[in-house]
Amino acid sequence: MSSEPEYHAEKSPLLIQQRSTFTEGGGESNNRGPVRNDRQRGTAGMAQTVVNLSKTCAGTGCLALPYACQEGGWVIFVFGLLAVAVWNVYGVQRLILCLKLIEHEHQESDDDTYGNIQEEIPAGGALPTRQSRFKNLPPPSTASTLGKVAWVALGGPRGLLFMDLMLVILLLGIIISYISGCISFLSDTPLTGGPFWDATVVAILMTMLSLVPDLGYLSNASAVGLIVLAGTFGVISAYGVLGNPKGDPERIPLFPGSIAALSRFFGVIAFGYGVVPLTYNFQSSMQEPHRMVEATFSALCLVATGYCVIGTGLLMLFSQVDGEILHELPSSGLVPTATRLAMASVCIMTAPLIIVPTGELLENKFEVTNQLYQRLVRGGVCLVSAVVAVLLPTFVQVLSFVGCFCVGLTSFCVPPILHLRLRLLLSGDHPSMLALLESQPHLSVDVFMFALGLIATFVGTFFTIR
């Protein structure tokens, strides 16, 4: 038996299989003192990481890209895709820089407690041998790397609570979008019983799948989903080319017609990327983790190109779309019905991969250990998500809301504020933020990006749900 057991480097909300190897040493793992783990690099090469990042972006949200193009207009759609991609790369770069700042500070202070924050750090570790400028105690070993960074940057437990809240909001948003997608797909099939009935059945099925002891049988759901998605676009394109008389590219606007339309465009596009919260997951899986920003830039450029082709190409075929593009297929017929049922099935199979980590996050936070209560927590997650999905009338409105609010907060607001807080802690005896910006004017970029993120998040959310 090997002396180097494998562990998942991070528990990704999307559960992409990413492993890195840790060599055990230095004694038992307990909460009485630090445990030394000499982390080795992950196994994913540059090309594999680019592919994995691209696969993470691809999903049911692609079905709303023609609608986003229609709402944003040709010009804003094309340039907005590139701008939001670069915005995500900026968020990834800032999170990686946050981790480097923490590790560098504690290496300089001869403190091994935070030396490698991506490894397990026991909750009761010793205080630094030389006083570090990060005053708070080590974060819990159960926290994710992102949670540990927030712990250091935002003052200990409240920072971890803040980040856990952000992740719960994000994960709930994704679950809501899955249920809303199923409602939308089933609405044009003979099996529909109306939004309430469809949401109830879908939520029950998702809950049942999330309660099984081993989710390994769903590990290939993402691959199946990509195949189904590719087949769906093939069917839609065939109907658009062969049987759609509405195609008229000249009817497509160049710019959005209102702030509400611009907000819906932004929400769908933000939802379509959303890789920033998974930064440390992917970085810890790489053979060359220092190339994470480069990998993200390459992947999101590919994704933006694909999104541009899908959004503009399908809109040219149909000219006017009413929500997600599956609505443009005939409401009867074997092929359209089978396509819609296949997409709904993929959503139902994939959702437990989000429901389980959401439930575990809540269970750990509230110290729920009873198995019955854990099942109730996961059922409650599905119930709340189903209620919200029914209250928001259309799938594209759900995507816009989740993109503007959930993804906007975690991807565009969190990275700059974490970086600014760490820089402030490292700058000396509690100077003001104004003094910090005067001494390091380049940090004004973070202030601008944080303000831009807040404006985009809350203005977009307001006009999306209005």
Euclidean distance between CA atoms 355 and 332, whole angstroms:
32
Cβ count near 23 (within 10 Å): 12
Q: How confident is the model at residue 97 (pLDDT cuts 50, 70, 90)?
A: very high
| pLDDT the model gives residue 226 | 85
The answer, yes or no, to whether residue 76 has pLDDT greater than 50, is: yes
Rounded Cα gap, residues 53 and 89, in angstroms: 12
**How far apart are alpha carbons 189 and 198 in whole angstroms?**
11
State residue 182's pLDDT score: 96
pTM given for the model? 0.84
pLDDT band at residue 120 under the 50/70/90 scheme: very low
Cα distance between residue 279 and residue 289, in whole Å = 11
Is residue 115 pLDDT above 90, yes or no?
no
Tell me how far apart the alpha carbons of residues 13 and 1 are, in angstroms, rounded to a whole number. Answer: 31
Structure tokens at 25: 């040493």
Mean pLDDT of 145-167: 90
The kind and range of the H/E element at 343 are helix 334-350
Residue 114 has pLDDT above 70, yes or no: no
Distance CA(446)–CA(93), nearest Å, equals: 12
Predicted confidence at residue 7, as pLDDT, reads: 33
Residue pointed to by tokens 């575990």: 360
For residue 164, the Cα-to-chain-centroid distance in whole angstroms is: 13
What is the tens place of the pLDDT at every residue in 345-364?
Answer: 999 988 998 998 899 889 88
Which stretch of DSSP H or E encloses residue 309? helix 292-318
Confidence of residue 18 (pLDDT cuts 50, 70, 90): very low
Rg, C-alpha atoms of the chain: 23
Q: Where does the pLDDT of residue 86 fall: very low under 50, low under 70, confident under 90, or very high at 90 and above?
A: very high
Q: What percent of the chain has pLDDT over 70?
A: 80
Q: What is the pLDDT of residue 1?
A: 42
- Strand-pair category, 19-24 with 37-42: antiparallel
Q: What is the pLDDT of residues 252-292, one digit of tens each?
A: 788 999 999 999 999 999 999 989 999 998 999 899 999 99
Closest Cα to residue 254, out of 403, 80, 85, 83?
80
Please report the pLDDT score of residue 163 as a whole number: 92
| 99 Cβ contact list (under 8 Å, min separation 6) | 117, 118, 145, 149, 280
What is the side-by-side strand order in the sheet with 19-24? Answer: 6-8, 19-24, 37-42
* Partners of 38 in the β-ladder: 23
Structure confidence at residue 220 (pLDDT)? 67
pLDDT at 430 over 80: no
Categorize the per-residue pLDDT at 17 as very low, low, confident or very high, splitting at 50, 70 and 90: very low
Whole-angstrom distance, CA of residue 134 vs CA of residue 111 = 11
> 349 is written with which tokens?
């199979």
Write the pLDDT tens digit of every residue in 122-134.
Answer: 444 333 444 456 6
Residue 62, pLDDT above cutoff 80: yes
Q: Closest by alpha carbon to 178, among 44, 352, 438, 374?
A: 352
Return the structure tokens found at 248. 């008229």
Q: Which residue has the higher pLDDT, 286 or 438?
A: 286
Q: Is residue 3 pLDDT above 70, yes or no? A: no
At residue 441, the pLDDT reads 85
Q: Is the pLDDT of residue 431 over 80?
A: no
In whole angstroms, what is the distance from residue 344 CA to residue 51 CA?
25
**What is the overall mean pLDDT for the chain?**
83
Residue 88 CB neighbour total at 10 angstroms: 28
What distances in angstroms separate CA 444 from CA 381, 427, 435, 436, one per listed residue? Answer: 39, 15, 12, 10
pLDDT digits (tens, 9 = 90+) for 371-429: 899 899 999 999 999 999 999 889 999 999 999 999 999 999 999 999 999 998 888 66
Distance CA 277, CA 75 (A): 28
Alpha-carbon gap, residue 131 to 65, rounded angstroms: 52
pLDDT at res. 190: 92
Bridge partner list, 23 = 38
Region of residue 126 (left: phi > 0; alpha: psi -120 to 50; beta: else) = beta
The reported pLDDT for the residue numbered 136 is 60
Coarse DSSP helix, strand, coil percentages of the chain, rounded to the nearest 5 percent: 70, 5, 30
Residue 320 predicted with pLDDT over 80: yes
pLDDT score for 442: 87
